[in-house]
Amino acid sequence: DADVTQTPRNRITKTGKRIMLECSQTKGHDRMYWYRQDPGLGLRLIYYSFDVKDINKGEISDGYSVSRQAQAKFSLSLESAIPNQTALYFCATSDRLADSTDTQYFGPGTRLTVL
């Protein structure tokens, strides 16, 4: 089984709808991240969490919110989806307790289309 899973893998929705993307990990890592990727671009950080009670905004947090329900679960919500939020979304984890670097492990991604 994959260490970092994301659900759903694909989602098509309409403008104005609320959407939740979920991420779960079995790696036991303390830190979790949400990124979006647009064609021809790298990954841009939306939110990150160092532990259940420590959540931080990334460079593009507007229009998004997150919840760290447990150490293993980190969900991303789009309160009112708009077309320019159409993108690939990736969840990632890192283990700062065991590794002093920011090496990250990624899920398979969610392809979101907002019509």
Interface contacts to other proteins, rule CB under 8 A: 4, 31, 33, 35, 40-45, 48, 50, 56, 58-59, 90, 92, 94, 96, 100-109
Q: Please, what is the minimum distance in Å from the beta carbon of residue 48 to other proteins?
A: 5
Q: Please, what is the minimum distance in Å from the beta carbon of residue 45 to other proteins?
A: 6
E strand residue ranges, the chain: 4-7, 10-13, 19-25, 31-37, 43-51, 54-57, 64-70, 73-78, 87-94, 105-106, 110-114
Residue 25 vs 82, nearer CB to other proteins: 25
Q: Please, what is the minimum distance in Å from the beta carbon of residue 14 to other proteins?
A: 24
Residue 83 vs 108, nearer CB to other proteins: 108
Show Cβ contacts of residue 7 under 8 Å, excluding neighbours closer than 6 positions. Answer: 21, 22, 110
Q: How many CB atoms lie within 10 A of CB 28?
A: 12
Residue 35 vs 85, nearer CB to other proteins: 35
* Rounded-to-integer distance, Cα 67 and Cα 52, Å: 9
Q: Please, what is the minimum distance in Å from the beta carbon of residue 106 to other proteins?
A: 3
